């Protein structure tokens, strides 16, 4: 477990999305929803970036927002990779089914080209 995950769980960070949700809930969201959360966090980060003479040390809120941004990005990337893997798996299954159908057709064609005697012999050997 990386430091950002420990930080997020230890401090019980909550994310604003139709109320407050926890890190586990992020895994249930669609990519579009994660993007909305990410963009809102980036706006909050930009608001904290403003120059100020009063801010002489690191703002803990800024660290929290940066950690949240990292978490959302990581979950987004994981979910996106899963979606792509599923698409590839579906395409592979479709291609395999197509190849099997062609093999069956070729076997049927090969069988249909055999003479009646050869077919009777094959038939008798199957019993």
Asked whether residue 28 is assigned to any structural domain, the reply reads yes
**What are the residues facing 16 on neighbouring strands?**
20
- What is the per-residue pLDDT for 28? 94
Provide the pLDDT for residue 47.
82
Task: Please give the DSSP secondary-structure letter assigned to residue 29.
Answer: S
Note the pLDDT of residue 14.
Answer: 94
pLDDT of residue 51: 62
Does 102 fall in a domain?
Answer: no
Within a domain: 63: yes
Give me the pLDDT at residue 42, please.
94
Does any domain span residue 109? no
| Residue-level pLDDT, tens digit, the chain, 127 residues | 468 888 888 889 999 999 999 999 999 999 999 999 999 999 998 887 766 666 656 677 888 999 999 999 999 999 999 999 999 999 999 999 999 999 999 999 998 898 999 999 999 988 7
In a domain, 116, yes or no: no
pLDDT given at position 71: 95
Give pLDDT, residue 55.
Answer: 60
Residues 6+ apart with CB under 8 A from 15: 21, 22, 23, 25, 26, 37, 68, 72
Q: What is the pLDDT, as a whole number, of residue 29?
A: 95
Q: Which two tokens stand for residue 91?
A: 């395409």
Q: Is the residue at 84 inside a domain?
A: yes
Domain that holds residue 27: 3-93
Structural domain total, the chain: 1
Query: How many other β-carbons are positioned within 10 Å of the β-carbon of residue 41?
Result: 22
């Amino acid at each position: 477990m990386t430091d950002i995950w420990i930080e997020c769980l230890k401090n019980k960070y909550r994310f604003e999305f139709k109320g407050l949700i926890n890190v586990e809930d992020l895994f249930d969201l669609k990519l579009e929803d994660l993007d909305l959360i990410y963009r809102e966090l980036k706006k909050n980060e930009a608001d904290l970036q403003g120059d100020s003479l009063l801010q002489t040390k690191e703002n803990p809120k800024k660290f929290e927002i940066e950690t949240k941004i990292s978490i959302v990005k990581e979950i987004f990337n994981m979910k996106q990779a899963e979606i792509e893997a599923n698409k590839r798996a579906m395409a592979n299954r479709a291609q395999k089914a197509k190849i099997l159908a062609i093999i069956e057709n070729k076997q049927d064609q090969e069988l249909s080209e055999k003479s009646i005697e050869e077919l009777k012999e094959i038939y008798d050997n199957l019993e």
